[in-house]
């Protein structure tokens, strides 16, 4: 007996992903600029095609079923890449140059930014739109398609992402107020953190592994570290340091770009932190391959770029 051929269209997938994200049919409809009845019908049709319920819907809440979670895991990355590919093709058909949206945190590539942009333009004919991200959203922005890729500080703390080769590693610095008891040390023992306060990050299970490295709750020996004010950005971190509310651990390069008379950067004996280009695992577009190759080439040849170039690079970020 011949099985009935099943078909699923992109609109059904868009509706499914919107409801899975919003967990609310009305909000999903607003997000897609559709009537709520159209979203509901698309979900019913999709459930018929896959042969089971994707959501449990009550008067109070919407929950994704196990089947829905499995479907989302498989189709979400593919849908993002499909839309990005269609956009690339439209630009090509219109004779427009390809532009890529690259996320960065803090200084991003620091002194490698300018040579990276030049190489990307001259060798791969790609233009860049820079998108500044907070440490909390750097991985989610790549996963959700807000940016095509991002220069992220490792470790990756989001499913569905992969990193390219490590571009550079930074030694760690403890940022303290200028009159702090450790301000004049040469190298700080990380066990000293047991006597300090470190800022608190908003709860987010997706950044757990990353937060444990950059905003640790315990010293290497296991002693607890007090938690301070909630922060979400680099500048918020520096503000609570300057006011004496907390100290913070930053990559060493940050000292060149985020210093002021009220704070001091002191070496701390912790493993270095790496930065890499991070992309969606399913995104195999040529433009992403070009980004990866360009970042590796530039890092290999210009890792010790001089400070004047670094400052010019930061100016290019605007």
Q: Per-residue b/e over 108-139, b at no fewer than 16 CB within 10 Å?
A: bbbbbbbbbbebbeeebebebebeebebbbbb
What pLDDT does residue 204 have? Answer: 66
Is residue 197 domain-resident?
Answer: yes
* 297 pLDDT above the threshold of 50: yes
What mean pLDDT value characterizes the chain? Answer: 85
* 93 pLDDT above the threshold of 80: no
Per the structure, the count of domains in the chain is 3
- pLDDT tens digits for range 177-221: 999 999 999 999 999 999 999 999 987 666 888 999 999 999 999
Where does the pLDDT of residue 97 fall: very low under 50, low under 70, confident under 90, or very high at 90 and above? low
Do residues 160 and 286 both lie within one domain? yes
Do residues 301 and 155 both lie within one domain? yes
Do residues 144 and 190 both lie within one domain? no
- pLDDT tens digits for range 231-246: 988 899 999 999 999 9
* 313 DSSP 8-state letter: H
- How many helical (H) and strand (E) elements, i.e. helices and strands, does the chain have? 11, 13
* 1 pLDDT above the threshold of 60: no
* 218 DSSP 8-state letter: B
- Asked which of 57, 85, 113 is the last residue of a domain, the reply is 85
- Across residues 163-186, what is the average pLDDT? 93
Is residue 4 domain-resident?
Answer: no
Do residues 184 and 156 both lie within one domain? no
Is residue 280 domain-resident?
Answer: yes
Range of the domain at 34: 10-85
What token pair was written down for 285?
Answer: 């577009």
Is residue 303 domain-resident?
Answer: yes
What pLDDT does residue 249 have? Answer: 97
What pLDDT does residue 59 have? Answer: 76
Q: Which residues have a Cβ under 8 Å from the Cβ of 178 and sit 6 or more positions away? A: 261, 262, 263, 264
Question: Domain containing 283 — which CATH number?
Answer: 3.40.190.10
Question: Domain containing 65 — which CATH number?
Answer: 1.10.10.10
Q: Per-residue b/e over 270-306, b at no fewer than 16 CB within 10 Å?
A: beebbbbbbbbebbebebbebbbebbbebbeebeebe
């Amino acid at each position: 007996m011949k099985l009935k051929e099943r078909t699923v269209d992109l609109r059904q997938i868009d509706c499914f992903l919107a409801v899975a994200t919003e967990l609310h049919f009305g909000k999903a409809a607003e997000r897609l600029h559709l009537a709520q009845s159209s979203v509901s019908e698309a979900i019913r049709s999709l459930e018929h095609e896959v042969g089971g319920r994707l959501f449990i819907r009550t008067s109070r809440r919407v929950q994704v079923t196990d089947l829905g979670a499995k479907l989302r895991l498989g189709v979400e990355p593919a849908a993002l890449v499909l839309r990005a590919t269609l956009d690339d093709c439209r630009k090509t058909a219109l004779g427009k140059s390809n532009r890529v949206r690259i996320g960065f945190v803090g200084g991003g590539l620091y002194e490698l930014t300018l040579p990276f942009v030049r190489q990307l333009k001259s060798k791969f004919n790609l233009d860049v739109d820079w998108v500044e991200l907070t440490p909390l959203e750097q991985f989610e922005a790549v996963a959700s398609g807000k940016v095509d890729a991002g220069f992220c500080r490792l470790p990756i703390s989001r499913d569905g992402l992969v990193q390219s080769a490590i571009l550079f590693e930074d030694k760690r610095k403890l940022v303290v107020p200028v009159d702090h008891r450790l301000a004049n040390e040469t190298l700080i023992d990380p066990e000293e953190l047991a006597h300090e306060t470190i800022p608190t990050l908003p709860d987010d299970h997706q950044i757990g592994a990353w937060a444990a490295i950059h905003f640790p709750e315990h010293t290497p020996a296991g002693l607890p570290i007090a938690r301070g004010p909630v922060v979400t950005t680099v500048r918020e971190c520096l503000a609570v340091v300057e006011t004496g509310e907390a100290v913070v651990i930053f990559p060493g390069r940050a000292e060149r770009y985020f210093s002021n008379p009220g704070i001091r950067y002191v070496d701390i004996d912790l493993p270095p932190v790496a930065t890499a280009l991070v992309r969606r695992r399913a995104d195999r577009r040529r433009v992403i391959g070009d980004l990866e190759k360009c970042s590796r080439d530039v890092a290999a040849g210009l890792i010790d770029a001089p400070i004047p170039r670094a400052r010019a690079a930061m100016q290019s970020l605007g």
